[in-house]
Structure 1
Amino acid sequence: MAEDVKPAETPERAYDDRPIHAEPGQLPPEVQAPLAAYKGALPPSPPWFDWAIAQEPERMFVESLGSRLEVLTWGEVGKPGLLFVHGNSAHADWWSFIAPFFAEDYRVASMSLAGMGASDWRDSYSFTDFAEDAEAVSRAAGLYEGGRKPIYIGHSFGGGQVFFAAVSHPERMHAAIMVDTGFGPPPEEMAKRMAQMEAIRNIPTVDRPSRIYATLEEALNRFRLMPPQPAGNPFIADFIARRSLKRVPLPPGETGPDGSGEGWTWRFDPNMWAKLDRQAMMKREQTQVTTTTPLVHIYGAKSRIVEHRKAGAPSPFPAGLLEIEIPDSHHHIMIDQPLALVSALRALLSAWPR
């Protein structure tokens, strides 16, 4: 998810879900503003979802590299560990309606990456630091206490972090699962994106932070998914969007409708991509890599990841990687087909790795 944020200086290769600004009207309404029709009200939700979010996690902060990282946990310490990692501009609660389905058999943790969710922002970000953060969270959350090393599960940009950690530190994990993880579009599309980004104006910079919205409804109306797609289940998109926001003071002289003097803005660092050092990951992307960590990739049948691959997008995944397709799903599988994702993960974990 991203809106009103600065795109980074475009590297040679970049992940699909990096923030790219779009003015109202540039995308279909169901893509541009999937929650606008609800006018700030909660969309109706099914019983399974209500049950899942009622399983409140323990919320804590873990110190890593001088930063406090937001961590959510479910299940008992002493059971095998699972670490969930979200995508770009997201947060730990993207897994809050998925993780409870594993809490009976696993000690589960979901972390907010540095610069996202309620985790601290940094002056710079790197894949190496994210890998150290994941290890710190796994230790603090008790994911090693079940008699084996934890399994990492990461979506999109978070899948990139999981893959990097699996290749760089195979001794730290039992296995790794990437969920709809890509490594940049084909060269022709990258050139097109660069041209489009050159034309973008009025995007926040270090001196012009993310926009502040006077009301929650206004902020929810600006929520959308990156890469652009419809929100398959609006009740999930709404749950995620509300937890993507924080209260902040309105600009001097402005007062919101509630008279509080506070508005709403996104919780992620708007300059995260400008601060991200991708050199370590780009070295991994140049060629296919080998690792002793068992790997699986789960992807959506309608995802742009698939489109990019068919068009010749690069991928460092090892040849012969086990892959599982989720039907009728775009990139954000936990929004489009959450129960199918749960079923795929549970079936996979019951028999893999051997």
Structure 2
Amino acid sequence: MNDMTSVNDLPADIDPIWAGDGSHLPEWFITALRVPREEGYVEITGAKVHYFRWGNRDKPKLLMTHGFLAHARCFAFIAPFFAQDYDIVAFDLAGMGDSEMRGSAGAAARGKEFVEIAEALGLFADGHKPTIIAHSFGSGAALTAVTQSPDAFAGVVVCDLMIMRPEMLDGYWNKERSSPGSGNPDKPNRHYPTYEAARERYVLSPPQPVAEPFLLDYIAYHSLCREEGSWTWKFSPEVFRRSNKPEEWLTMGKRLVQAPGRKAIVHGGNSMLFSQDSADYIRDIGGNDIPIITIPEASHHLMLDQPLAFVATLRSVLACWKSSPEYEQQC
């Protein structure tokens, strides 16, 4: 198989606006997007929730979600690698991607979203307990979910969640920003006359180069939508109407260690948000039984830096859990 491919019938996700003729895209990416999937919406408390689904409905369940202001397509080229052995759902958090905003944007409401989408799509049927795989902000919400509903999930894989010793976190905030993920909920999203003008404004947080620029183009394109002859961001400004209290982040390490059930941490070797000191801190506060796996040459956005290494790491974690004695009761 060639490393690169030029095809005429590209998957729908590969729009010429960002991908041109697709000749620079690697075969693995195109093949992943061709894996059969269901795309749809379910209505929860009067609002539409957008999701993708791959795999076999009779298999163990995986529930995937993304970081702040991102969307489920962060896993659209990751999830297909699990389709043979799992039933996988990746969903847009409320007010992000193509999901409508609903209810509160606070931590408790975010945690409930995991149970709500799992119930709506039948992931709990026949005693199944989904395993959550979440990135960054989504990981924090996932920890809330398993704490709220300790018997509902088989485990959670936390992917590059910001965890630092409190004194380190204070220094990071003072240096980098006043408040992580801050924004004005009363200010409408800006409109841009062209896609190119909007794309120029798309940046990652924290800022970083990416090893696979075509993946950044893909994520950026699907973060935008056409509206009244212009381009604007998909996310709702309402997502900023959240408590975002500093203590929520200052205690994140303890929350992770104390969260019930199986947990694993996957992080980038070059991440600004989870370092070797973060791993040491987790051990210091009692998380000696939590696997912590580093992906070399990856920064915070693992799927954009080392997507295939990210897949391999997740596969390894799931395989280890699958071989454990309690697996049959949990899946």
Give the TM-score band, short-chain normalised.
Answer: 0.7 to 0.9
Other-structure match for 1:233: 212
SS at 2:237 equivalent: coil
Other-structure match for 2:309: 340
Letter of the structure 2 residue corresponding to residue 270 of structure 1: P
Equivalent-residue separation in structure 2 for 1:239 and 1:215 (angstroms): 17
Other-structure match for 1:295: 263
SS at 2:175 equivalent: helix
Other-structure match for 1:305: 273
Other-structure match for 1:224: 203
Letter of the structure 1 residue corresponding to residue 33 of structure 2: I
Pairwise mapping of residues 199-210 of structure 1 onto structure 2 (< 5 A)?
Answer: 205-206=184-185, 208-210=187-189
Determine if contact 1:77/1:146 at 8 Å carries over to the other structure.
no
Cα RMSD of the aligned pairs, angstroms, is 3.0
Equivalent-residue separation in structure 1 for 2:195 and 2:317 (angstroms): 39
Determine if contact 1:143/1:149 at 8 Å carries over to the other structure.
yes
Pairwise mapping of residues 132-143 of structure 1 onto structure 2 (< 5 A)?
Answer: 132-143=112-123
Q: How far is the alpha carbon of 1:307 from its aligned partner? A: 4.3
Other-structure match for 2:329: none
Equivalent-residue separation in structure 1 for 2:319 and 2:133 (angstroms): 15
SS at 1:352 equivalent: helix
Equivalent-residue separation in structure 1 for 2:88 and 2:52 (angstroms): 8
More helix by share: 2
Equivalent-residue separation in structure 2 for 1:263 and 1:236 (angstroms): 23
C-alpha distance after superposition, 1:77-121 (max 9, x if no partner):
121100001000001111100011111111100010011011112
Letter of the structure 1 residue corresponding to residue 216 of structure 2: A
Determine if contact 1:78/1:146 at 8 Å carries over to the other structure.
no
1:215 to 194, 215, 218: 194
Residue 182 (structure 1) aligned with residue 149 (structure 2): no
Determine if contact 1:115/1:268 at 8 Å carries over to the other structure.
yes
Other-structure match for 2:242: 276
C-alpha distance after superposition, 1:270-320 (max 9, x if no partner):
3523x1134695696384542431000000000012349469989998521
Q: How far is the alpha carbon of 1:193 from its aligned partner? A: 4.1
Q: Which has the higher contact order (CA 8 A, sep 6+)?
A: 1
Q: TM-score, normalised by structure 1?
A: 0.75
Pairwise mapping of residues 1-354 of structure 1 onto structure 2 (< 5 A)?
Answer: 40-42=18-20, 44-122=24-102, 124-145=104-125, 147-183=127-163, 186-193=169-176, 205-206=184-185, 208-249=187-228, 262-273=229-240, 275-278=241-244, 281=248, 285=252, 287=254, 289-307=257-275, 309=277, 318-320=286-288, 321-352=290-321, 354=324
Moved more, 342-351 or 324-333: 342-351
Q: TM-score, normalised by structure 2?
A: 0.80
SS at 1:224 equivalent: coil
Moved more, 67-76 or 44-53: 67-76
Equivalent-residue separation in structure 1 for 2:217 and 2:225 (angstroms): 15
Moved more, 88-97 or 165-174: 165-174
In 2 relative to 1, CA 95–146 (structure 1 residues): closer, same or farther, beyond 3 Å?
farther
Determine if contact 2:163/2:253 at 8 Å carries over to the other structure.
no
Equivalent-residue separation in structure 2 for 1:204 and 1:323 (angstroms): 32
Letter of the structure 1 residue corresponding to residue 174 of structure 2: A
Letter of the structure 2 residue corresponding to residue 188 of structure 1: G
Q: Identical aligned pairs, as a percentage?
A: 33
Q: How far is the alpha carbon of 1:194 from its aligned partner? A: 5.1
Determine if contact 1:40/1:216 at 8 Å carries over to the other structure.
no
Equivalent-residue separation in structure 2 for 1:162 and 1:204 (angstroms): 22
